[in-house]
Structure 1
Amino acid sequence: MIPCLRSFRRLLGPRRPERARLRFHGWIAGIGTSAGTRVVVGYWVRSPFGPFSDVMLERASGERLLLAPSRETADFIARTYTFDEVRIAPVAVDVAEGTWTVAAASLTLRFTVGRRGLLGHLLRAVPDSLATRPAWCALMDLPARLIPGVRTHGMAGAGRREYYGAQDLLPVTAARAAFQGTDLGLLAPVEPAVRFGFGSAPRKPAVVRIITTVVLEGKAGSDTVKAAVNRGRASTVHRPTGTWPG
Protein backbone atom coordinates (compact mmCIF):
# COMPACT_ATOMS: atom_id res chain seq x y z
CA MET A 1 0.00 0.00 0.00
CA ILE A 2 2.84 2.40 0.81
CA PRO A 3 4.52 1.93 -2.62
CA CYS A 4 1.17 2.70 -4.28
CA LEU A 5 0.84 5.85 -2.20
CA ARG A 6 4.34 6.94 -3.19
CA SER A 7 3.56 6.34 -6.87
CA PHE A 8 0.39 8.41 -6.56
CA ARG A 9 2.34 11.27 -4.99
CA ARG A 10 4.88 11.13 -7.81
CA LEU A 11 2.03 11.47 -10.32
CA LEU A 12 0.81 14.56 -8.49
CA GLY A 13 4.25 16.11 -8.78
CA PRO A 14 6.24 18.02 -6.17
CA ARG A 15 4.40 19.79 -3.42
CA ARG A 16 4.03 23.52 -3.83
CA PRO A 17 6.03 25.33 -1.16
CA GLU A 18 3.86 26.90 1.51
CA ARG A 19 3.50 30.61 0.85
CA ALA A 20 4.35 33.13 3.55
CA ARG A 21 1.44 34.80 5.32
CA LEU A 22 1.57 38.23 6.91
CA ARG A 23 -1.12 39.34 9.36
CA PHE A 24 -2.22 42.86 10.26
CA HIS A 25 -4.42 43.36 13.35
CA GLY A 26 -6.28 46.63 13.71
CA TRP A 27 -9.11 48.80 12.43
CA ILE A 28 -10.08 50.18 9.03
CA ALA A 29 -12.18 53.35 8.84
CA GLY A 30 -14.02 54.25 5.63
CA ILE A 31 -15.25 57.86 5.33
CA GLY A 32 -17.01 59.73 2.53
CA THR A 33 -17.20 63.53 2.31
CA SER A 34 -19.61 65.95 0.68
CA ALA A 35 -16.74 67.19 -1.54
CA GLY A 36 -16.53 63.73 -3.10
CA THR A 37 -13.21 62.70 -1.54
CA ARG A 38 -13.26 59.30 0.15
CA VAL A 39 -10.76 58.39 2.86
CA VAL A 40 -9.75 54.96 4.19
CA VAL A 41 -7.64 54.92 7.36
CA GLY A 42 -5.70 51.84 8.45
CA TYR A 43 -4.95 51.79 12.20
CA TRP A 44 -2.66 48.79 12.77
CA VAL A 45 -1.85 48.00 16.38
CA ARG A 46 -0.02 44.78 15.48
CA SER A 47 1.66 44.00 12.16
CA PRO A 48 4.88 42.57 10.68
CA PHE A 49 6.13 46.19 10.50
CA GLY A 50 5.17 46.97 14.08
CA PRO A 51 2.32 49.37 14.98
CA PHE A 52 1.62 51.98 12.29
CA SER A 53 -1.16 53.83 10.49
CA ASP A 54 -1.73 54.67 6.83
CA VAL A 55 -4.24 56.60 4.74
CA MET A 56 -5.69 55.80 1.32
CA LEU A 57 -7.47 58.74 -0.29
CA GLU A 58 -9.46 58.90 -3.53
CA ARG A 59 -10.42 62.35 -4.77
CA ALA A 60 -13.60 63.22 -6.67
CA SER A 61 -11.48 63.27 -9.84
CA GLY A 62 -10.58 59.60 -9.31
CA GLU A 63 -6.96 60.26 -8.30
CA ARG A 64 -5.81 57.69 -5.72
CA LEU A 65 -3.22 58.65 -3.11
CA LEU A 66 -1.39 56.65 -0.44
CA LEU A 67 0.04 58.29 2.68
CA ALA A 68 2.37 55.92 4.56
CA PRO A 69 4.87 56.54 7.38
CA SER A 70 7.94 54.73 6.01
CA ARG A 71 9.48 53.52 2.75
CA GLU A 72 8.95 49.89 3.81
CA THR A 73 5.25 50.25 4.60
CA ALA A 74 4.70 52.40 1.50
CA ASP A 75 6.36 49.85 -0.80
CA PHE A 76 4.41 46.94 0.69
CA ILE A 77 1.03 48.68 0.48
CA ALA A 78 1.70 50.11 -3.00
CA ARG A 79 2.53 46.63 -4.34
CA THR A 80 -0.62 45.19 -2.78
CA TYR A 81 -3.03 47.95 -3.88
CA THR A 82 -3.21 50.49 -6.73
CA PHE A 83 -2.40 54.21 -6.42
CA ASP A 84 -1.63 57.12 -8.70
CA GLU A 85 0.67 58.74 -6.14
CA VAL A 86 2.50 57.59 -3.01
CA ARG A 87 3.69 60.01 -0.32
CA ILE A 88 5.88 59.04 2.62
CA ALA A 89 5.02 61.16 5.65
CA PRO A 90 4.16 60.71 9.33
CA VAL A 91 0.62 59.43 9.87
CA ALA A 92 -0.65 60.14 13.38
CA VAL A 93 -3.86 58.57 14.68
CA ASP A 94 -5.29 59.20 18.14
CA VAL A 95 -8.41 57.50 19.47
CA ALA A 96 -10.12 58.76 22.63
CA GLU A 97 -13.69 58.26 23.85
CA GLY A 98 -15.16 57.50 20.46
CA THR A 99 -13.37 60.31 18.63
CA TRP A 100 -10.66 59.65 16.04
CA THR A 101 -8.13 62.32 15.11
CA VAL A 102 -5.97 61.69 12.04
CA ALA A 103 -3.11 63.90 10.86
CA ALA A 104 -1.14 62.86 7.78
CA ALA A 105 0.90 65.25 5.63
CA SER A 106 -1.68 67.69 4.22
CA LEU A 107 -4.69 65.75 5.51
CA THR A 108 -6.55 66.43 8.75
CA LEU A 109 -9.52 64.27 9.69
CA ARG A 110 -11.65 64.08 12.81
CA PHE A 111 -14.64 61.80 13.19
CA THR A 112 -16.80 60.21 15.87
CA VAL A 113 -18.26 56.74 16.10
CA GLY A 114 -21.63 55.69 17.46
CA ARG A 115 -22.95 52.62 19.23
CA ARG A 116 -22.49 49.28 17.53
CA GLY A 117 -25.52 47.72 15.94
CA LEU A 118 -26.56 44.09 15.52
CA LEU A 119 -23.87 43.35 12.91
CA GLY A 120 -21.18 44.75 15.19
CA HIS A 121 -22.33 42.54 18.06
CA LEU A 122 -22.37 39.47 15.80
CA LEU A 123 -18.86 40.18 14.51
CA ARG A 124 -17.53 40.58 18.06
CA ALA A 125 -18.30 36.89 18.59
CA VAL A 126 -15.77 35.88 15.89
CA PRO A 127 -12.56 34.69 17.63
CA ASP A 128 -9.06 35.31 16.27
CA SER A 129 -8.75 31.60 15.47
CA LEU A 130 -11.55 31.96 12.90
CA ALA A 131 -10.76 35.47 11.68
CA THR A 132 -7.28 34.33 10.61
CA ARG A 133 -8.48 31.28 8.67
CA PRO A 134 -8.61 31.81 4.89
CA ALA A 135 -11.41 29.24 4.58
CA TRP A 136 -13.58 31.22 7.02
CA CYS A 137 -12.93 34.50 5.21
CA ALA A 138 -13.76 32.87 1.87
CA LEU A 139 -17.01 31.51 3.33
CA MET A 140 -17.97 34.94 4.67
CA ASP A 141 -17.41 36.53 1.26
CA LEU A 142 -20.90 35.53 0.10
CA PRO A 143 -22.91 37.22 2.89
CA ALA A 144 -20.44 40.14 2.88
CA ARG A 145 -21.42 40.91 -0.72
CA LEU A 146 -24.86 41.89 0.56
CA ILE A 147 -23.10 45.06 1.76
CA PRO A 148 -22.34 47.03 -1.44
CA GLY A 149 -18.64 47.06 -2.31
CA VAL A 150 -17.54 44.75 0.51
CA ARG A 151 -15.44 41.64 -0.13
CA THR A 152 -13.64 39.43 2.37
CA HIS A 153 -11.11 37.80 0.04
CA GLY A 154 -9.63 38.23 -3.41
CA MET A 155 -6.50 38.71 -5.49
CA ALA A 156 -4.32 41.73 -4.82
CA GLY A 157 -1.25 43.13 -6.57
CA ALA A 158 2.03 41.22 -7.08
CA GLY A 159 0.16 37.90 -7.12
CA ARG A 160 -0.84 38.27 -3.49
CA ARG A 161 -4.08 36.98 -2.05
CA GLU A 162 -5.86 38.81 0.75
CA TYR A 163 -8.30 37.66 3.42
CA TYR A 164 -10.24 40.01 5.69
CA GLY A 165 -11.57 38.65 8.99
CA ALA A 166 -13.95 41.22 10.51
CA GLN A 167 -14.49 41.21 14.28
CA ASP A 168 -16.48 44.38 15.00
CA LEU A 169 -18.22 47.29 13.27
CA LEU A 170 -19.02 50.76 14.57
CA PRO A 171 -20.92 53.41 12.57
CA VAL A 172 -19.29 56.78 11.92
CA THR A 173 -21.77 59.46 12.94
CA ALA A 174 -19.95 62.73 12.11
CA ALA A 175 -16.75 63.83 10.39
CA ARG A 176 -14.85 66.89 9.24
CA ALA A 177 -11.79 66.77 6.99
CA ALA A 178 -9.46 69.03 5.06
CA PHE A 179 -6.90 68.14 2.41
CA GLN A 180 -4.18 70.48 1.13
CA GLY A 181 -5.91 73.40 2.82
CA THR A 182 -9.32 72.70 1.26
CA ASP A 183 -12.31 71.84 3.43
CA LEU A 184 -13.79 68.51 2.30
CA GLY A 185 -17.17 69.22 3.84
CA LEU A 186 -19.38 67.01 5.96
CA LEU A 187 -19.75 63.25 6.34
CA ALA A 188 -21.22 61.49 3.31
CA PRO A 189 -21.57 57.92 1.99
CA VAL A 190 -18.48 56.25 0.55
CA GLU A 191 -19.57 56.58 -3.07
CA PRO A 192 -18.58 55.93 -5.67
CA ALA A 193 -16.78 52.91 -4.26
CA VAL A 194 -13.04 53.36 -3.76
CA ARG A 195 -10.78 51.61 -6.29
CA PHE A 196 -7.62 50.69 -4.41
CA GLY A 197 -8.13 46.93 -4.59
CA PHE A 198 -10.67 44.20 -5.26
CA GLY A 199 -13.15 45.56 -2.70
CA SER A 200 -14.32 48.83 -1.19
CA ALA A 201 -15.18 50.16 2.24
CA PRO A 202 -18.88 49.86 3.19
CA ARG A 203 -21.08 52.53 1.60
CA LYS A 204 -22.21 53.66 5.04
CA PRO A 205 -19.19 55.20 6.81
CA ALA A 206 -17.94 52.79 9.46
CA VAL A 207 -14.95 51.58 11.44
CA VAL A 208 -14.30 47.85 11.23
CA ARG A 209 -12.05 45.86 13.53
CA ILE A 210 -10.22 43.44 11.29
CA ILE A 211 -7.43 40.91 10.86
CA THR A 212 -5.99 41.16 7.36
CA THR A 213 -4.02 38.16 6.11
CA VAL A 214 -1.80 38.71 3.06
CA VAL A 215 -0.54 35.54 1.35
CA LEU A 216 2.63 36.24 -0.62
CA GLU A 217 3.43 34.81 -4.06
CA GLY A 218 6.61 32.78 -4.53
CA LYS A 219 9.74 32.33 -2.43
CA ALA A 220 11.58 35.25 -4.02
CA GLY A 221 8.70 37.60 -3.27
CA SER A 222 8.44 36.27 0.28
CA ASP A 223 12.16 36.77 0.91
CA THR A 224 12.01 40.33 -0.44
CA VAL A 225 9.07 41.21 1.79
CA LYS A 226 10.67 39.60 4.85
CA ALA A 227 13.79 41.71 4.32
CA ALA A 228 11.62 44.83 4.03
CA VAL A 229 9.75 43.85 7.19
CA ASN A 230 13.03 43.56 9.11
CA ARG A 231 14.08 47.00 7.88
CA GLY A 232 10.67 48.42 8.70
CA ARG A 233 10.80 47.16 12.28
CA ALA A 234 14.05 49.00 12.76
CA SER A 235 12.74 52.28 11.30
CA THR A 236 10.82 54.96 13.18
CA VAL A 237 7.11 54.41 12.62
CA HIS A 238 4.33 56.30 14.37
CA ARG A 239 2.69 54.14 17.02
CA PRO A 240 -1.08 54.62 17.26
CA THR A 241 -2.08 56.30 20.52
CA GLY A 242 -5.14 56.27 22.70
CA THR A 243 -7.46 53.52 23.85
CA TRP A 244 -8.54 50.52 21.82
CA PRO A 245 -11.67 51.65 19.92
CA GLY A 246 -15.05 50.41 21.03
Structure 2
Amino acid sequence: MERTRATEAAGVAGAGAAGSGELRFEGRIAGFGSASGTRVVIGLWERSPFGRFADAMIENAAGHRTLLAPSEVVAAFVSETYEFDEVRVVPVSSRRISGGLAVRAGDDGSALTARIAVGDVPPLGRLLRSVPRRLATDVRWLRMLDPIASRLVPGVHTAGSAGHGRREFYGVTTMRRIAWAEATVDGEPLGAFAALDPPVRFGFGSAPPEPHLVDLTTVIRLPRR
Protein backbone atom coordinates (compact mmCIF):
# COMPACT_ATOMS: atom_id res chain seq x y z
CA MET A 1 0.00 0.00 0.00
CA GLU A 2 1.22 3.45 -0.87
CA ARG A 3 0.69 5.21 2.45
CA THR A 4 0.59 8.84 1.23
CA ARG A 5 -1.96 8.17 -1.48
CA ALA A 6 -4.14 6.06 0.82
CA THR A 7 -4.00 8.63 3.61
CA GLU A 8 -5.07 11.40 1.25
CA ALA A 9 -7.93 9.26 -0.02
CA ALA A 10 -9.12 8.53 3.51
CA GLY A 11 -8.94 12.20 4.42
CA VAL A 12 -11.10 13.19 1.48
CA ALA A 13 -13.59 10.40 2.10
CA GLY A 14 -13.70 11.09 5.82
CA ALA A 15 -14.24 14.80 5.42
CA GLY A 16 -17.03 14.28 2.92
CA ALA A 17 -18.74 11.59 4.99
CA ALA A 18 -18.39 13.31 8.32
CA GLY A 19 -20.03 16.64 7.62
CA SER A 20 -20.40 17.50 11.29
CA GLY A 21 -17.01 15.91 12.10
CA GLU A 22 -18.65 12.75 13.49
CA LEU A 23 -18.45 9.34 11.82
CA ARG A 24 -20.75 6.43 12.74
CA PHE A 25 -20.07 2.76 12.06
CA GLU A 26 -22.88 0.25 12.74
CA GLY A 27 -22.26 -3.48 12.77
CA ARG A 28 -20.64 -6.26 14.77
CA ILE A 29 -17.26 -7.12 16.22
CA ALA A 30 -16.05 -10.66 16.98
CA GLY A 31 -13.01 -11.21 19.18
CA PHE A 32 -11.33 -14.47 20.20
CA GLY A 33 -7.96 -15.97 21.08
CA SER A 34 -6.09 -19.16 20.24
CA ALA A 35 -3.70 -21.66 21.78
CA SER A 36 -0.85 -20.19 19.71
CA GLY A 37 -1.29 -16.85 21.47
CA THR A 38 -2.62 -15.06 18.38
CA ARG A 39 -5.75 -13.00 18.99
CA VAL A 40 -8.21 -12.02 16.25
CA VAL A 41 -10.71 -9.14 16.17
CA ILE A 42 -13.04 -9.01 13.16
CA GLY A 43 -15.25 -6.06 12.24
CA LEU A 44 -18.41 -6.63 10.20
CA TRP A 45 -19.78 -3.19 9.32
CA GLU A 46 -23.27 -2.95 7.84
CA ARG A 47 -23.35 0.86 7.63
CA SER A 48 -20.41 3.25 7.59
CA PRO A 49 -19.09 6.32 5.76
CA PHE A 50 -17.23 3.82 3.53
CA GLY A 51 -20.24 1.61 2.88
CA ARG A 52 -20.53 -2.01 3.94
CA PHE A 53 -17.22 -3.75 4.62
CA ALA A 54 -15.34 -6.22 6.81
CA ASP A 55 -11.84 -5.93 8.26
CA ALA A 56 -9.65 -7.88 10.66
CA MET A 57 -7.08 -6.96 13.30
CA ILE A 58 -4.59 -9.64 14.37
CA GLU A 59 -2.02 -9.61 17.18
CA ASN A 60 0.32 -12.58 17.47
CA ALA A 61 2.06 -13.94 20.56
CA ALA A 62 5.08 -11.71 19.94
CA GLY A 63 2.87 -8.60 19.92
CA HIS A 64 3.00 -7.96 16.16
CA ARG A 65 -0.21 -6.17 15.14
CA THR A 66 -1.59 -6.54 11.61
CA LEU A 67 -4.57 -4.86 9.93
CA LEU A 68 -6.30 -6.60 7.03
CA ALA A 69 -8.47 -4.06 5.20
CA PRO A 70 -10.49 -4.35 1.97
CA SER A 71 -9.38 -1.05 0.39
CA GLU A 72 -6.70 1.60 0.66
CA VAL A 73 -9.26 4.13 1.89
CA VAL A 74 -10.42 1.87 4.73
CA ALA A 75 -6.82 0.84 5.52
CA ALA A 76 -5.68 4.45 5.78
CA PHE A 77 -8.59 5.56 7.96
CA VAL A 78 -8.39 2.58 10.34
CA SER A 79 -4.59 2.75 10.64
CA GLU A 80 -4.84 6.46 11.51
CA THR A 81 -7.35 5.63 14.27
CA TYR A 82 -5.61 2.53 15.71
CA GLU A 83 -2.01 1.32 15.93
CA PHE A 84 -0.50 -1.43 13.78
CA ASP A 85 2.92 -2.75 12.87
CA GLU A 86 1.71 -3.93 9.47
CA VAL A 87 -1.14 -2.89 7.17
CA ARG A 88 -2.26 -5.15 4.31
CA VAL A 89 -4.90 -4.31 1.70
CA VAL A 90 -6.61 -7.58 0.70
CA PRO A 91 -10.15 -8.71 -0.13
CA VAL A 92 -12.11 -9.36 3.08
CA SER A 93 -15.49 -11.10 3.02
CA SER A 94 -17.91 -12.69 5.46
CA ARG A 95 -20.87 -15.02 5.14
CA ARG A 96 -23.34 -16.72 7.41
CA ILE A 97 -22.95 -20.43 8.03
CA SER A 98 -25.04 -22.82 10.11
CA GLY A 99 -24.79 -21.59 13.70
CA GLY A 100 -22.38 -18.76 13.01
CA LEU A 101 -20.27 -17.07 10.38
CA ALA A 102 -17.18 -17.49 8.23
CA VAL A 103 -14.63 -14.83 7.28
CA ARG A 104 -11.94 -14.89 4.60
CA ALA A 105 -9.22 -12.34 3.85
CA GLY A 106 -6.80 -12.45 0.96
CA ASP A 107 -7.12 -14.39 -2.28
CA ASP A 108 -8.82 -17.69 -1.41
CA GLY A 109 -8.37 -16.94 2.29
CA SER A 110 -4.59 -16.77 2.03
CA ALA A 111 -4.28 -14.05 4.73
CA LEU A 112 -7.00 -15.21 7.15
CA THR A 113 -9.74 -17.79 7.39
CA ALA A 114 -12.05 -17.95 10.40
CA ARG A 115 -15.12 -19.95 11.31
CA ILE A 116 -17.09 -18.83 14.35
CA ALA A 117 -19.92 -20.62 16.17
CA VAL A 118 -22.19 -18.15 17.97
CA GLY A 119 -23.56 -19.15 21.36
CA ASP A 120 -26.06 -17.76 23.85
CA VAL A 121 -26.74 -14.24 25.11
CA PRO A 122 -25.16 -13.80 28.58
CA PRO A 123 -26.83 -11.80 31.38
CA LEU A 124 -24.84 -8.69 30.43
CA GLY A 125 -26.09 -9.03 26.86
CA ARG A 126 -29.70 -9.14 28.08
CA LEU A 127 -29.05 -6.06 30.20
CA LEU A 128 -27.59 -4.20 27.22
CA ARG A 129 -30.67 -5.10 25.17
CA SER A 130 -32.87 -3.38 27.73
CA VAL A 131 -31.19 0.01 27.18
CA PRO A 132 -32.94 2.10 24.48
CA ARG A 133 -30.77 2.20 21.38
CA ARG A 134 -30.70 6.00 21.23
CA LEU A 135 -29.31 6.14 24.77
CA ALA A 136 -26.96 3.16 24.28
CA THR A 137 -25.17 4.92 21.42
CA ASP A 138 -25.22 8.48 22.81
CA VAL A 139 -21.68 9.76 23.41
CA ARG A 140 -22.70 11.51 26.64
CA TRP A 141 -23.97 8.21 28.05
CA LEU A 142 -20.86 6.38 26.86
CA ARG A 143 -18.58 8.89 28.60
CA MET A 144 -20.43 8.34 31.90
CA LEU A 145 -20.52 4.57 31.39
CA ASP A 146 -16.80 4.11 30.70
CA PRO A 147 -15.56 3.80 34.33
CA ILE A 148 -18.30 1.24 35.06
CA ALA A 149 -17.68 -0.75 31.86
CA SER A 150 -13.97 -1.10 32.59
CA ARG A 151 -14.77 -2.54 36.02
CA LEU A 152 -17.46 -4.93 34.78
CA VAL A 153 -15.37 -6.28 31.89
CA PRO A 154 -11.58 -5.92 32.31
CA GLY A 155 -9.89 -4.20 29.39
CA VAL A 156 -13.12 -2.86 27.90
CA HIS A 157 -13.79 0.87 27.51
CA THR A 158 -16.68 2.79 25.97
CA ALA A 159 -14.91 6.14 25.45
CA GLY A 160 -11.34 7.20 24.84
CA SER A 161 -8.74 8.89 22.68
CA ALA A 162 -7.93 7.53 19.25
CA GLY A 163 -5.14 8.40 16.83
CA HIS A 164 -4.59 11.83 15.25
CA GLY A 165 -6.62 13.70 17.86
CA ARG A 166 -9.79 11.67 17.35
CA ARG A 167 -12.23 10.65 20.08
CA GLU A 168 -13.92 7.28 19.91
CA PHE A 169 -17.04 5.83 21.55
CA TYR A 170 -18.33 2.24 21.60
CA GLY A 171 -22.08 1.79 22.06
CA VAL A 172 -22.77 -1.95 22.48
CA THR A 173 -26.44 -2.90 22.12
CA THR A 174 -26.17 -6.66 22.65
CA MET A 175 -23.61 -9.42 22.90
CA ARG A 176 -23.47 -13.16 22.29
CA ARG A 177 -20.87 -15.63 23.48
CA ILE A 178 -18.64 -17.23 20.88
CA ALA A 179 -18.99 -20.94 21.61
CA TRP A 180 -16.11 -22.01 19.37
CA ALA A 181 -13.83 -20.65 16.67
CA GLU A 182 -11.00 -21.83 14.45
CA ALA A 183 -8.72 -19.75 12.26
CA THR A 184 -5.65 -19.78 10.05
CA VAL A 185 -3.33 -16.82 9.39
CA ASP A 186 -1.18 -16.94 6.26
CA GLY A 187 -2.13 -20.60 5.92
CA GLU A 188 -1.00 -21.59 9.43
CA PRO A 189 -3.63 -22.95 11.88
CA LEU A 190 -3.76 -20.93 15.10
CA GLY A 191 -4.59 -23.89 17.30
CA ALA A 192 -7.36 -24.47 19.80
CA PHE A 193 -9.98 -21.85 20.59
CA ALA A 194 -9.06 -19.78 23.68
CA ALA A 195 -9.79 -16.63 25.61
CA LEU A 196 -8.66 -13.29 24.19
CA ASP A 197 -5.75 -12.96 26.57
CA PRO A 198 -3.62 -10.92 26.93
CA PRO A 199 -5.70 -7.91 25.81
CA VAL A 200 -5.07 -6.67 22.29
CA ARG A 201 -3.26 -3.35 21.85
CA PHE A 202 -4.79 -1.75 18.78
CA GLY A 203 -6.44 1.18 20.56
CA PHE A 204 -7.40 2.53 23.97
CA GLY A 205 -9.40 -0.59 24.88
CA SER A 206 -9.55 -4.30 24.13
CA ALA A 207 -12.30 -6.72 23.21
CA PRO A 208 -13.60 -8.75 26.20
CA PRO A 209 -11.33 -11.57 27.40
CA GLU A 210 -14.23 -14.04 27.07
CA PRO A 211 -14.84 -14.38 23.30
CA HIS A 212 -17.95 -12.53 22.20
CA LEU A 213 -19.76 -11.29 19.12
CA VAL A 214 -21.15 -7.84 19.92
CA ASP A 215 -23.59 -5.61 18.07
CA LEU A 216 -22.55 -1.99 18.36
CA THR A 217 -22.33 1.51 16.99
CA THR A 218 -18.87 3.06 16.94
CA VAL A 219 -18.76 6.86 16.88
CA ILE A 220 -15.53 8.62 15.89
CA ARG A 221 -15.26 12.36 16.36
CA LEU A 222 -12.67 14.05 14.19
CA PRO A 223 -10.64 16.97 15.55
CA ARG A 224 -11.64 20.44 14.50
CA ARG A 225 -9.54 21.84 11.69
User: In which range does the TM-score fall when normalised by the shorter chain?
Assistant: 0.7 to 0.9
Distance 2:65 2:190 in 1: 16
Aligned to 1:172, the other structure's residue is in SS state strand
Q: Residue in 2 aligned with 1:37?
A: 38
Counterpart-to-counterpart distance in 1, 2:72 and 2:182: 28
Name the aligned partner's letter for residue 25 of structure 1.
Answer: E
Structure with greater contact order relative to length (CA < 8 Å, sep ≥ 6)? 1
1:129 corresponds, among 126, 134, 146, to 134
Any gaps of 5 or more consecutive residues in structure 1? 1-17, 220-246
Instruction: Supply the distance in 2 between the matched residues of 1:132 and 1:202 (Cα, whole angstroms).
Output: 19
Q: CA deviation at 1:171?
A: 0.5
What's the counterpart of residue 169 of structure 1?
A: 175
Q: Does 1:49 align with 2:50?
A: yes
Look up the match of 2:7.
Answer: none
Do the aligned residues in 1 keep the contact of 2:26 with 2:46 (CA within 8 Å)? yes
CA distance in 2, matches of 1:211, 1:107: 25
Asked whether the 8 Å contact 2:137–2:172 carries over to 1, the reply is no
Cα separation, 2, equivalents of 1:77 and 1:45: 16
- C-alpha displacement of 1:139: 1.5
Identity %: 48
Letter in 1 for 2:32: I
Q: Which runs of 5+ in 2 are unaligned?
A: 1-18
Q: Which amino acid aligns with 1:37?
A: T
Instruction: Report the count of equivalent residues.
Output: 202
Shift in alpha-carbon separation, 1:137–1:98, aligned structure 2, 3 A:
farther
Structure 2 counterpart of 1:53, one-letter code: A
CA distance in structure 2 between the aligned counterparts of 1:57 and 1:188, rounded to whole angstroms: 14
What displacement does 1:102 show? Answer: 0.7
- Tell me which amino acid in the other structure corresponds to 2:122: G
Secondary structure, aligned partner of 1:102: strand
Q: State yes or no: 1:141 paired with 2:153.
A: no
Q: Residue 191 of structure 1 aligns to which amino acid in structure 2?
A: D
Cα distance in 1 for residues equivalent to 2:192 and 2:124: 25
C-alpha separation between the residues in 2 aligned to 1:211 and 1:164? 6
How far has the Cα of 1:87 moved from its partner? Answer: 0.3
What is residue 153 of structure 1 aligned with on the other side?
159
- Which amino acid in 1 is paired with 2:37? G
Distance, in Å, in 1 between the alignment partners of 2:64 and 2:196 is: 15
Q: Indicate if the aligned counterparts of 2:42 and 2:56 stay in contact, CA closer than 8 A.
A: yes
2:198 to 192, 217, 220: 192
| Residues 66-105 of structure 1 aligned to structure 2 (within 5 Å) | 66-105=67-106
After superposition, the C-alpha distances for 1:153-210 in whole angstroms (9 at most, x for unaligned) are 0000000000110100100111111111211011101111100000001000111111
TM-score (norm 2): 0.87
SS at match of 1:185: coil
In structure 1, distance between residues paired with 2:223 and 2:20: 6
Residues 115-172 of structure 1: per-residue CA shift (max 9 Å, x gap)? 1021111111233311331111112112211211100000000000001101001001
Structure 2 Cα separation of the partners of residues 153 and 27 of structure 1: 17
- Counterpart-to-counterpart distance in 2, 1:133 and 1:38: 29
Root-mean-square deviation over aligned CA pairs: 1.3
Q: Contact (CA 8 Å) 1:38, 1:191: kept in 2 or not? A: yes
Partner of 2:211: 205
